[in-house]
A and B are shown apart, each in its own frame.
Chain A
Amino acid sequence: MERITIDPVTRLEGHGKIEIFLDERGDVANTYFQIPELRGFERFCVGRPVEEMPTLTNRICGVCPEAHHMAAAKAADAVYHVTPPRPARLLRELLYSAFYFTDHTTHFYALGGPDFVVGPDAPVSERSILGVVRKVGLEVGGRVIQARRSGHRVIEIIGGRGVHPATAVPGGMTKSISEDERAEIAGLARWAIGFAQGSLELFDEVVMGNPAYRELLTGEEYTDRTYYMGLVDAERRVNFYDGQVRVVRPDGDPFGQYDPADYRDWVAERVEPWTYLKFPYLRQVGWKGFVDGVDSGVYVASPLARLNAADGMATPLAQAEFERYFATLAAQPAPSGRHGVVHNRLATHWARLIELLYAAERMLELATDPEITSDDVRAVPTETPTEGVGTVEAPRGTLTHHYRTDERGILTAVNLIVGTTNNYAPISMSVRRAAQAFIHGGEVVTDGLLNRVEMAFRSYDPCFGCATHSLPGQMPLQVTIHGADGAILDVLRQHC
């Protein structure tokens, strides 16, 4: 048996490793995606006051500190049995929408886009945001930077600082915003809507307008038929900040909907001997291994999943794109008559851009809400703290913080289910499927072929470290091919 190791996976936060085992014929027998887990976070937190968690947990991750800040603040609200006043909830969602806008922009232009704009077979050195800018022009690069700056500016106005926000506390926010700040945010949001529309046009032109890419987006190489999960509002539309968790079946029909506090009745975790990280699955369906289908409890939580799980988008332009997306990629409705589901993982890039447009439109809605400048931003907790769950949709999947405290509010237990962890099993399956589709006996394993395997998991925008950690810096892609006797036949290295 031969063995190919991709170590670590390029352009991933955290250091993962893919091992591909070949059979006697040189075809892919199996693959393993391993991630070292950061340890000791619960122990680090226990004994600290729960109100420290919104600023402490946003240190876990350098990529999505805003998501941890919000989930922690919501969990702390629940621990203190307090509901923030409406203006505080609006401010939190506004900050969070700006974060989504920034994060989704970065993913498309710096991570996902290069595979399409520059091409999957381009040299690794070209498959970067620099390559994208060279291809589509400096002006687009300038707009990407402007988009990031706009998002960071909104986060800074509401969150007190531009990177790791600090203003969400149990019961609300520590500060309101002025009319001048509101007007500035509204102006940035109007610009953001146009930017998102332009990004969707770029996707249409570069990806859907190219027959080869269109085939990848509709073919079987990147398709697994799993369950999907996402937060929805009262009208079952996508919501990033709040709502209930909805799950749909592989055929698109609803499977169930639950309050985030009940997550343990719905999600269980599978332990495998070859990795430290656990595999969440739907408890009521059960673990059947790394397989898709209605009998396997594997689910996805991602932009693709959120659109599958929801009945629509809460803003008009995003809703129109939502309808066009499903009409293009899932013409077959679900048995119940609701929209069909999109299983192709590369379609996640399109779904992400629809969410980008929603985030921009939602920013404007919130920035023009009459209550957004209200000073009523805090309900001071008065009840004895006990236990609470806070859930938001992180860009990479449903994020849950669960805290328990003593009567003084000192943490006694902490549990986190982070966005990407939800997707550990489906990413493993996608990697295997792509490897089996693209690597065949007798063919030379080229960088382009390996990149097609990487594209399978890059679509999920995985962030396994859930930390600012990203060893080693240059992210070399190392491919080790072992012969049947275990001897190393070849080692390929590349840097990006």
Chain B
Amino acid sequence: MHEPDVGAVTGRRVPPGVGASFAPGARFAPASFAPGASRAPGAPCAPGASRAPGAPCAPGASRAPGAPGSILVVGLGNPILGDDAVGWHVADAVEARLRDGRWWAALEPDEPVIALDVERLSLGGLRLMERLIGYERAVIVDALETGDEPPGTVRSFRLEELPERGWARLASAHDASLAAALDLGRSLGAALPVSPWVVAVEARLRDTFSDELSPEVAAAVARAADQVMALVSRSEEQPCTS
């Protein structure tokens, strides 16, 4: 089990030896629409703050929505509904990679500062959109059941390139699809990721409560985490499949 769940874990890229590159347990309040809101997620620097390549932001700098480089990785799913939990497991794996300093060290020194949050959520539609506010980029990991691919197949799409059906959660049946929710948020002036990535794990979703993944899906967790790391490592990503 993954409790506690929705707390964001924040990683901030700073040069090795300068300070902690990872702040476990950091939590952010729900995102806000209001410009200048004090509780926006992710971005470690104030707008306009100087961003010398590789230089760390000042500790305690105010967080502003939409600052360059802020990324949210969301593991979506119900943690007690079998393979539907795969997004949460991938989020665990992503955090484990972030704790390993080698990933940070491998980044090119002149790449922009990355502020990376990881969350596990059981949301769709409006609530999911509200959680994305303030991030420049987002990667969403979810289970997918198309029946066209063997369980455990991992694929990445832009949100607008999603297959039409088979999603567990990306379209909340209870209010709006994520795409519609993002349109609504943008029309209201919210700072939202332009084109979120989705990393999908083909699963066999059964309506039976369980906190275990099927073997095929469990075996895909590391591959899906690799794709997430590849996506967040690049400033401008290309589609990838495995």
Number of A positions contacting B (CB below 8 A) = 57
CB of B166 within 8 A of CB of A41, answer no
Q: Which of A62, A141, A476 contacts B188 (CB 8 A)?
A: A141
CB of B188 within 8 A of CB of A145, answer yes
Q: Which residues of chain B in 139-181 are interfacial with respect to chain A, using CB atoms and an 8 Å cutoff?
A: 145, 162, 164-177, 180
The interface residues of chain A lying within 8 Å CB-to-CB of B5 are 164
Known: A44-B210, A162-B29, A469-B205. A141 touches B177 (CB 8 A): no
CB of A62 within 8 A of CB of B173, answer no
CB of B165 within 8 A of CB of A474, answer yes
A141 to B: closest C-beta gap in Å? 5
Q: Which residues of chain A in 272-329 are interfacial with respect to chain B, using CB atoms and an 8 Å cutoff?
A: none
A7 to B: closest C-beta gap in Å? 12
The interface residues of chain B lying within 8 Å CB-to-CB of A60 are 80
Smallest CB gap from B79: residue in A: A59
Q: Which of A44, A110, A152, A156 contacts B176 (CB 8 A)?
A: A110
CB of B169 within 8 A of CB of A149, answer no
B227 to A: closest C-beta gap in Å? 20
Q: Which of B30, B177, B208 contacts A149 (CB 8 A)?
A: B30
A229 to B: closest C-beta gap in Å? 23
Q: Does B215 contact A (CB under 8 A)?
A: no
The interface residues of chain B lying within 8 Å CB-to-CB of A148 are 126-127, 130
Q: Does A177 contact B (CB under 8 A)?
A: no
Known: A130-B183, A138-B188. A470 touches B124 (CB 8 A): yes
B122 to A: closest C-beta gap in Å? 4
CB of A129 within 8 A of CB of B175, answer yes
Q: Does A264 contact B (CB under 8 A)?
A: no
Smallest CB gap from B78: residue in A: A468
Q: Does B136 contact A (CB under 8 A)?
A: no
Interface on chain B toward A: helix, strand, loop, or mixed SS? loop
Q: Which of A56, A129, A138, A475 contacts B171 (CB 8 A)?
A: A475
B125 to A: closest C-beta gap in Å? 8
Per-residue contact bits, chain B 106-122, to A (CB 8 Å; 1 contact, 0 not): 00000000000000011
Q: Which residues of chain B in 178-209 are interfacial with respect to chain A, using CB atoms and an 8 Å cutoff?
A: 180, 183-185, 187-190, 205, 207-209
Q: Which residues of chain A in 23-80 are interfacial with respect to chain B, using CB atoms and an 8 Å cutoff?
A: 36-41, 43-44, 55-56, 59-60, 62-63, 65
A161 to B: closest C-beta gap in Å? 5
CA distance A161 to B173 in the complex (A): 23
Q: Report A's interface with B, CB cutoff 8 A.
A: 10-15, 36-41, 43-44, 55-56, 59-60, 62-63, 65, 106, 110-111, 128-130, 133, 138, 141-142, 145-146, 148-149, 152-153, 156, 161-164, 166, 463, 465, 467-476, 495-496
